[in-house]
Amino acid sequence: MQHPLRRNRFLFVASLAALVAVVHPPQPVAGQQSANADEDGTVNAAALMEAAPAEWLSYGRDQAETHYSPLDQINAGNVDRLELAWSWEIPKTGARLEATPLVSDGVMYATGPHSFVFALDARTGEKIWQWDPGIPDERQGGPSVCCGDVNRGVAIYGDKVYAGLLDGRLVALNKATGLVEWVVQTTPPGQDYSITGAPRIANGNVIIGNGGAEYGIRGYVTAYDAETGAEAWRTYTVPGNPADGFESEAMRVAADTWNGEWWVVGGGGSAWDTFAFDPEANLVYVGTGNGAPWSREIRSPGGGDNLYLSSILALNADDGELVWHYQTTPGDDWDYTATQPMMLLDLTIDGRERKVIVQAPKNGFFFVIDRLTGEFISGQAYADDLTWASGIDPQTGRPIETPEARYGTNRQGAWLSPAPFGAHNWRPMAWNPATGLVYLPAQNNVSYYEMVTDFQYTLGQWNTGTTIRGGGGPRPDRPSLTGPRTLLVARDPATNTEVWRAPSQGGNGGTMSTGGNLVFWGSGNRLVAINATTGEELWATEVGGGTATPMTYQLDGVQYVSILGGSTREGPRMWTFALDGSAESPRGN
Query: What's the gap between Cα 572 and its chain centre?
Result: 22
Residue whose C-alpha is closest to residue 559's, from 52, 54, 80, 68:
54
Contact indicator for 292, 216 with CB cutoff of 8 Å: yes
Taking CA atoms, 350 is separated from 377, 493, 589, in Å, by 11, 12, 49
Phi then psi dihedrals of residue 574, to 5 deg? -90, 125
CA-to-CA distance for 122 and 126, rounded, in angstroms? 8
User: Is 72 part of the annotated catalytic residue set?
Assistant: no
Cα–Cα distance, 62 to 56 (Å, whole number): 8
| CA proximity to 574, closest of 584, 563, 582, 585 | 563
The DSSP letter of residue 138 is: G
Q: Which residues contact 294 (CB under 8 A, 6 or more apart)?
A: 332, 333, 334, 335, 420, 464, 465, 466, 468
Angle, CA of 170, 552 and 178, to the nearest 5°: 35
Rounded Cα distance between 130 and 572, Å, is 15
Distances (CA, A) of 421 to 144, 145, 219: 19, 16, 20
DSSP string, 235-303: EESS---GGG--SSHHHHHHHTT--S-GGGT-EE----S-EEEETTTTEEEEE---EESS-HHHHSTT-
Give the C-alpha distances (Å, rounded to integers) separating 302 from 112, 240, 407, 408, 453: 43, 18, 13, 10, 15
Spot the catalytic one: 167, 335, 384, 385.
335
CA distance 101 to 118: 10
**Which residues does residue 346 pair with via DSSP β-bridges, in sequence order?**
355
Residues forming the active site: 335
